[in-house]
Amino acid sequence: MRNMEQVIIEQLRAEEIRETARVLAMAFSTRRGLIKILKNQRDKERRAIVMFEFPLKHLPGNTLVAKKEDRVVGVIRYVEWPHCQLSPLQTLKYLPTMLIEMRSTALHHARQGLTWYRLDPKQPHWHIDPIAVLPEMQKQGIGSQLMTRFCKQMDEMREKAYLETDKPEYVRFYEHFSFEVTGETDVQGRHFSFMWRQPLRKSAD
């Protein structure tokens, strides 16, 4: 929890999209899902950045960045249902842009997106997709700051929240913020927990 006072959280600016996509690429660089997508591809870091850059540039959602000394070190993106997953028709709409920008990762990304579309809860919520902190900046409370800011907004808006994770240690992290596991399943060889959060009432209510 070191140096939390030096971290500020603010809305993502257009000129920070590339840097924020790089933070996501670095944070997820060891995850099996990303490794599978980028397997046997040259220039993996650049392709990973482009893959994460696409939703930041083209898809609806709200993105907050954690910054330290004007450097983006963390990010949380959350999207309001029903826009949190691309429908089959929306996937077709964006596929040409995905093919141009993401190239060989586009089809895999589209197939994976359709899987998440089928699994996504069909009721109002805000979907966290994703939250990440630079590897060298982890375990300093930055992710907790981002989650605290997000949950405060959800409580003020009286909105429900949802996420999925394939890491047991992340389940424990999200439980700290009042998320509860509501289901589990295997997706493309990875075991996922689905987590739901009801807005908390203020003590004065």
The pLDDT tens digits of the residues spanning 93-120 come to 766 766 665 666 666 666 666 777 788 8
Task: Return the exposure string of 123-160: e unless at least 16 CB atoms fall within 10 Å of the residue's CB, then b.
Answer: eebbbbbbbbbbeebeebbbbebbbeebbebbbeeebb
Read off the pTM: 0.82
Tokens of 44: 């993996």
pLDDT greater at residue 174 or residue 37: 174
pLDDT digits over 128-169, tens only? 989 999 999 999 999 999 999 999 999 999 999 999 998 899
Find out whether 22 and 49 touch, Cβ atoms under 8 Å. yes
Beta-bridged to residue 42, according to DSSP, are: none
Q: Give dist(CA 55, CA 67) in Å, integer.
A: 20
Q: What is the pLDDT of residue 1?
A: 44
Q: What is the pLDDT of residue 205?
A: 45
Find out whether 139 and 104 touch, Cβ atoms under 8 Å. no
pLDDT digits over 68-84, tens only? 999 999 999 999 999 88
Highest mean pLDDT among 48-57, 97-106, 170-179: 170-179
Q: Could you identify the residue written with the tokens 């397997």?
A: 39
pLDDT band at 203, cuts 50/70/90?
Answer: low
Q: Give dist(CA 196, CA 117) in Å, integer.
A: 16
pLDDT greater at residue 88 or residue 27: 27
Q: At what angle do helices 17-27 and 44-58 cross, to 10 degrees?
A: 130
Q: What is the pLDDT of residue 35?
A: 41
For residue 202, give the DSSP letter. P
pLDDT band at 88, cuts 50/70/90?
Answer: confident
Q: Give dist(CA 200, CA 155) in Å, integer.
A: 6
pLDDT greater at residue 25 or residue 155: 155
The residue type found at 124 is P
Q: What are phi and psi of 31, to 5 degrees?
A: -80, 140
Average pLDDT score over the chain: 84
Beta-bridged to residue 185, according to DSSP, are: 192
The fold of 4-197 is Aminopeptidase (3.40.630)
Q: What is the pLDDT of residue 146?
A: 97
Residues 6+ apart with CB under 8 A from 96: none
pLDDT greater at residue 5 or residue 2: 5
